[in-house]
With several copies, the nearest count.
Chain A
Amino acid sequence: MSLQVKFAVRENVLVVRLEGELDHHEATNLRESWQKELNNNGVEHVIVNLQKLSFMDSSGLGVMLGRYKEVQAKGNEMVLCSISPEVRRLFDMSGMFKIMKLVDDEASALEMLGVASCEMK
């Protein structure tokens, strides 16, 4: 029921794949590990893959908004993809898509950020 987080780097893009449930308890750890990844690796843009995220509440929104602001402050982009209907309800209700971009899948997100869309490791 807890949260699994996987990071991958593709050229200058950090891909964050979330799996499980993102609540206040998980938010603190996620924030820390995510910030660490953003400071490494010469990463610029971010893709958040929500495909396997089955639950999220407003503590999750806080983490997303926090990272979005950091990325945007450096003139870079953050794109969400592969959202499930469960999690989409919260994003719709809270108007998050007026701020962040949402695309269907990782391939589209990579393309949007100018990364050649071949196989991802």
Chain B
Amino acid sequence: MRNEMTLEFTSISENESLARVSVAAFVSQLNPTMEELTDIKTVVSEAVTNAIIHGYEEQKDEKVLLTCAIDDGEIEIIIQDRGQGIENIDIAKEPLYTSKPEWERSGMGFTIMENFMDRVDITSEPGVGTTIRMTKQLTSTRALCN
């Protein structure tokens, strides 16, 4: 059975934990392992942080949109901002690349998303915004499908 949630929130860093906690509460219906739950909280934190600091450059009156759907043990997470967008996605995805080294960014956000999820799709247009779509099949349910 399909279950869906959509969470929209003000673009302030206080809401990063809200995003993690909500997605964790939602996917826990599927009985994920501790590792899977940690991975999911981490990638949500990465993408939401990016929307706030890169997409909106810390403007505090914008909105971040998070959608999460579960369907037969597959998790789909979409995080969207209507911020400044990414000029060159290939460069942005490179491990250790960051456009904000002065803020002590590690440049590992996209690398972590790609490692912890099965699939990561980045759509972005300068001046329009960025959408990150990620999916992951949980192992418990993957085993059941064999």
Contact = CB atoms under 8 A, between A and B. Distances in A.
Interface of A: 1-2, 21, 23-25, 27, 31, 55, 57-59, 61-63, 65-66, 85-86, 89-90, 93-94
A94 B112 contact: yes
B38 A23 contact: no
Contacts of A27: 104
Given A1-B28, A57-B46, A93-B115, A65 B17 contact: no
Interface in B90-146: 103-109, 111-112, 115-116
A62 B39 contact: no
- From DSSP, what is the main secondary structure of chain A's interface residues? helix
Contact of A90 (B20, B42, B105, B107): B42
Interface of B: 13-14, 16-17, 20-21, 25, 28, 34-35, 38-39, 41-42, 45-46, 49, 52-53, 103-109, 111-112, 115-116
Nearest to A60: B106
A58 B108 contact: yes
B18 to A, nearest CB: 9
Contact of A94 (B17, B41, B111): B111
A22 to B, nearest CB: 10
B112 A65 contact: no
A1 B19 CA distance: 12
